[in-house]
Structures are given as C-alpha cells and as structure tokens.
Amino acid sequence: MAYQLPDKLKTIVPYQPITGSYDVRLDANESFINLPDEIRHEISVMIPRIAFNRYPDPYAVDLCQKFSNVFDVPANLVVAANGSDELLFLLTTCFANAGDKLMVVKPDFGMYKIYGEMAGMQVEVFEKGEDLQIGVDALIAEAKEKQIQMLIFSNPCNPSSLIESREDVLKIVRELEDVLVVVDEAYMEFGYGSVLDEVENYPNLMVLKTLSKAFGLAAARLGFAVSNQTIINALKAAKSPYNVNTMSQVVGSIILDHPAYIDECILLIKESRDYLFGMLQAMAGSEPKIKSIQNTRSNFVYMEVENAADIYNALLEKGIAIRLMGNYLRVCAGSDEENDAFLNALRDCLKGA
C-alpha cells in the first residue's frame, strides 16, 4: 500500500499569507519603518566579523541580555527563538501530550489552532461575544468544564485589535492554575497592561514577545518566551541546539541597544494608527457599508464592511494589499503615503461595491 499522509495533515487548512508584488502592503502587521542608515552601518560593521563556519550561540546570551535590558526582566528567564512561531510549535509539541486539550479563542491568530492540531492536541475553540472581547468568567468556566491543559491567546488581539485588561488576564492565570496560560504580547508596545513582570509570580504563565512589529525586524524572525525558571529550563532543553542564526542574533542585539530609536518607532506607528483609525471613523459616518470599526490598541485597524471580499479584491487590483477575514478587513498602519493611498482607494471601492 502506498504511503499515506497522517490524518492530521490531511485536514489542516494552511495559513495563507498574501504573496505577490503590491505597491502598498498593509496586510501583515509589519512596521512601515525601515532601519535608518546609522543602524544599518552598525550592522554592516558587525556582519563581517561573524565566524560563518561556526554554529550560533545556542542560548543567544547577548541577545537575551539586551532583551532583558529593554523589558526589565531577568535574562535567565528569556529564551530566544526563530520567531514566535517556533515557540508555538515547541509549546504544542513538547509541553503537552497527544490528545491533551488546547483552548484558543475566536477570533484570534489562526496559527495557534494549526500548531495544536499538528501536535495531535484536541483543540477547543472559545467563541468571543459580539463585542469581540474575551468574556473572562465564561472562558474560565468553559476551560474548567472541558479540562484543558493549555490556553493560548494574543493580547492585544490579532485580528480584532482589542485589548484585555491586565487584571482580567491575571484572573485567568490564577483561576486556571493547572493550565499553561500562554499570552502572546506581540502588539503590547501599542497597548497597555502587559503581564510580563508577573512571570515569576505564577507557575503557569508564559509571555511571548517579538521584534517583528514595533521593532521593525520582521525579516530577522526573532521571538522570545519569558516565564518562570522551571518552564524556561524545560524550553531550553526542548528547543533545537542552534535555533537562532548568528546574523539574526547580531541584528537583534544592535536594535535592542537603541531604546530611543525603538521609542520613536512606537510613537510614529501609534500616530499612523490613530490617523488611520480617525479617518476611517470619519468615513464610516457617511458610508453605511462600513458597519463597525474597533477601537484599536495595536498597529492595525479591524473593521466590518459590507461586501468585504469584493472590496478586498478591488483593492488588490489597485495594488493595495490588506487582509480579508470573513466580513472584516484588517488594515495595518502604514506610512503617510500608504495610508492615504489606501483611504483614497477604499473610497472608490465603496462607491463601486
């Protein structure tokens, strides 16, 4: 009998980022700010010094120390990875047994569910209410009823752009004391209420961070896990020995050495987001096809639109890529030129939809 794929791979629907070339890319929640010349120069000085014939530092010690300096957490409680995706894969495959239950919320980042399914976990989906917020008490009750072993959610949420309060997140962690609670804070630089400083106070809390959003290093694929010493020691044992390449370690360390630049980037991205949100709100006042716009706490805007698929496709034809999510459109904050190009194109598309 010919080889057959395992059932879990036959049924998985792949995550599908937009491919192709577009004049305006507001689809992937990246930073619109590219590295300035002075930082590029620092990188150009360091890259030739790399011993390319040697493996990377297996624990990315310098990088984790720089992360520690910026985020004010002990360096020994940090693990660097090849993007947060590597961490999600490790968590679902190594911190749970096949058949264990993973709870995700909906809407949220679709890869949480995919990684759980690939690991052979039973994935339970908790549906958010019409306000797109997690109903904390209802989530806790359902998690207990279904006896889950792991819970993963983003805060601020991708794609809704909304945020759960620090108090509510910690309530989840406390009430589900026998559950590994993984809080993905990829967009927290644009919001408030991080629980990063609480990782040593709870045996079941892990926080994920990334340099792909506020820090503008999506190309380097750098993610971080922060947790208590027991979990971190286990994660170091579970990860591959040389998981973060030396070039990414060098570039990440240089960026983290520039906190003033990072703060400036966050400010500029927030200003772009607020401009985009304000202009869309004003447009919605006279355009009934825009059904709702969420009060964003991220670097993107999430809005419900009539004939969303038609508008999405019309924008693609105009060379503008955003993200289609059912009846919703997710639009990342861009440069002034990108924002205005999108807004002008959207007005035209709404008239023709």
The predicted-structure confidence for 127-182, as pLDDT tens digits, reads as follows 999 999 999 999 999 999 999 999 999 999 999 999 999 999 999 999 999 999 99
Q: What is the pLDDT of residue 168?
A: 98
> Cβ distance 204 to 177 under 8 Å?
yes
Residue 8 pLDDT more than 90? no
CA atoms of 10 and 282, how far apart (whole Å): 45
Q: Is the pTM value of this prediction over 0.85?
A: yes
CA atoms of 10 and 197, how far apart (whole Å): 41
Residue 347 pLDDT more than 70? yes
On average, the pLDDT of the chain sits at 96
Beta-carbon contacts of 21 under 8 Å, excluding residues fewer than 6 positions away, are none
Question: Which domains, and CATH codes, for the chain?
Answer: 7-30+261-352 (3.90.1150.10), 48-257 (3.40.640.10)
Instruction: Centre a 10 Å sphere on the Cβ of residue 255 and count the other Cβ atoms it contains.
Output: 25
Beta strand 320-321 pairing with 24-25: parallel
Classify 257 as helix, strand or coil: coil
Instruction: Centre a 10 Å sphere on the Cβ of residue 196 and count the other Cβ atoms it contains.
Output: 17
> Cβ distance 250 to 256 under 8 Å?
no
With residue 12 as reference, give the H or E element that holds it: none
CA atoms of 336 and 333, how far apart (whole Å): 9
Looking at the DSSP assignment, which residues form a beta bridge with residue 229? none
Instruction: Centre a 10 Å sphere on the Cβ of residue 216 and count the other Cβ atoms it contains.
Output: 21
DSSP one-letter string for 114-172: HHHHHTT-EEEEEEP-TT----HHHHHHHHHHHT-SEEEEESS-TTT-----HHHHHHH
> DSSP state, 60?
-
Largest pairwise CA distance in the chain: 63
Looking at the DSSP assignment, which residues form a beta bridge with residue 150? 102, 180
What are the structure tokens assigned to 165, written together? 């309060």
What are the structure tokens assigned to 16, written together? 């599908």
Would you place residue 188 in the very low, low, confident or very high pLDDT band (cuts 50, 70, 90)?
A: very high
Q: What is the pLDDT of residues 31-68, one digit of tens each?
A: 999 999 999 999 999 999 999 999 999 999 999 999 99
Residue 223 pLDDT more than 70? yes
| Among the listed residues 333, 330, 343, the one whose alpha carbon sits nearest the alpha carbon of residue 270 | 333
What are the structure tokens assigned to 46, written together? 């360091």
> DSSP state, 213?
S
| Among the listed residues 211, 210, 209, 133, the one whose alpha carbon sits nearest the alpha carbon of residue 172 | 133
Strand segments, DSSP code E, in the chain are 24-25, 78-82, 101-106, 122-127, 150-154, 180-184, 205-210, 222-227, 290-293, 300-305, 320-321, 323-325, 328-332
Say if residue 93 is exposed, middle or buried (CB neighbours under 10 Å; 0-12, 13-18, 19+): middle
CA atoms of 185 and 155, how far apart (whole Å): 5
Beta-carbon contacts of 107 under 8 Å, excluding residues fewer than 6 positions away, are 128, 132, 157, 159, 160, 325
Residue 20 pLDDT more than 90? no
Q: What is the pLDDT of residues 253-264, one digit of tens each?
A: 999 999 999 999
Percent of the chain exceeding pLDDT 70 equals: 100
Distances (CA, A) of 299 to 44, 195, 199, 219, 231: 29, 19, 25, 18, 30
